[in-house]
Homo-oligomer: A and B are copies of this chain.
Amino acid sequence: MTSASNTSATANKPRIVIVGCGFGGLEATRALRHAPVDITLVDRTNHHLFQPLLYQVATAGLSAPAIAAPVRHLFRRQANVASLLGEVTSIDPASRQVLLAGGMALPYDHLIVAAGATHSYFGRDDWAPYAPGLKTLDDAFEIRRRILLAFESAEKEADLEKQAAWLNFVVIGGGPTGVEMAGTLAEIAHHTLSGEFRRIDPAKARIILLEGSARVLQAMPPELSERATQQLQKLGVEVRLNAKVTAIDANGVQVQPAAPGDVYTIATHCVTWAAGVAASPLGKQLAQSLGLPTDRAGRVAVEADLSLAGHPEISVIGDLAAAKSHLGGHEPRPVPGVSPAAKQMGRVAAANILRRIAGQPTAAFRYRDYGNLATIGRNAAVVDVATPAGHLKFSGYFAWLFWLFAHIYFLIGFRNRIVVLIDWASAYWSKQRYARVITDIDKPPHL
């Protein structure tokens, strides 16, 4: 086991380790830019991923580099940060060390754990090979590969029944990712691929969105869920509510509709899993070692200031934290797993470290809710903005424009913004998607 520390003359500065370079870790690191501290930012990838646009990579609308900024490039001028590519295997609060795969140990005085979430199959991990989720760039490539190969396979298939199965696309889960994926798949089938095939009509592809509950976009007000469903249907998506998935294999998805109704199977070779999210396993490991509880999604219970009970030197933020906050004077409520919340937590955790260093009391986290927005597809989105005068809700074309500019504004890195804007402008007018590259071509289409 080797011990790593910044080799420059910073031996007496407080050592801060930040695990994860998602929205929370990135914001915490930035918030410490003027502090006389020694930060090690460790992530299992070399890039900060702008996850809200990951579905665009999965659906061939954007290239991967457009939404992935190299971490060490982002912090090249922040001299107090050393960026490290590594997989954190465990945290040892007793010796105050973060342990990496390969044996490296990172000692810390203050720790921020922002390891995020992954998709969860609710105990059915055997479904994973047939229904990839969408959390990383590799996930997005895999889904893109399956979508594009399904159309190619349909074009080659002479048997009409088998051909129809290749043209069935199932998205499981009606949250923001599921809605975006389904809407964009409909756009691909109806617009992008129009006129490009000779034996099949891509517009005959069926896009089926399965949602287990009674409405899509549960985080939204019910009327916007209703609007979203209408907009999805207008785009050509079959929205099936109260539809529980009971089995998935290489040939299809078995569905249990709301009672009364018989179990049925949809023949398909292209399934996207957008149904479940679970906190990174690192949360459970850390919580267990400290005897702290995790919630059903594996998130770690945190104090009001985002630190762990009995361990003020450890903060847990973002999707890994089961944080609660007062929202407009009500009882404390769970903070949603969205990027603005992660960024806000990152800033608070960083500020609390500085307060502790200065011997001051830490501050409680208060979530500021700016609202919620979700895109559905071409010219279609729903927006719920929190304003001092109450919530402003709208949908359709202007909601889509609002969503578009909000996302481009928050994209990391100036170059990315310009390129994404050009890509989208060209995609919008041409109805084309330029990133239609199938990689890993030798793998079978549906596995």
A interface residue numbers (CB < 8 A to B): 2, 4, 6-8, 44-47, 63-66, 68, 70, 72-73, 76-77, 82-86, 102, 104, 137-138, 141, 148-149, 152, 155-156, 158, 195-199, 415-416, 418-419, 422-423, 426, 430, 432, 434-441
Contact = CB atoms under 8 A, between A and B. Distances in A.
Contacts of A66: 63
Contacts of A197: 72
Contacts of A104: 156
Given A63-B63, A156-B84, A156-B104, A437 B2 contact: no
B436 A2 contact: no
A434 B415 contact: yes
Contact of A4 (B68, B158, B419, B430): B158
Contacts of A199: 6-7, 82
B198 A138 contact: no
Chain copies in the assembly? Answer: 2
A407 to B, nearest CB: 18
Nearest to A416: B434
Nearest to A102: B156
Contacts of A198: 6-8, 82-83
A38 to B, nearest CB: 10
B47 A84 contact: no
Given A436-B47, A439-B137, A441-B138, A196 B76 contact: yes
A440 B156 contact: no
A6 B200 CA distance: 11
A123 to B, nearest CB: 23
A440 B138 contact: yes
Contacts of A432: 73, 415
Contacts of A440: 138
Contacts of A155: 84-85
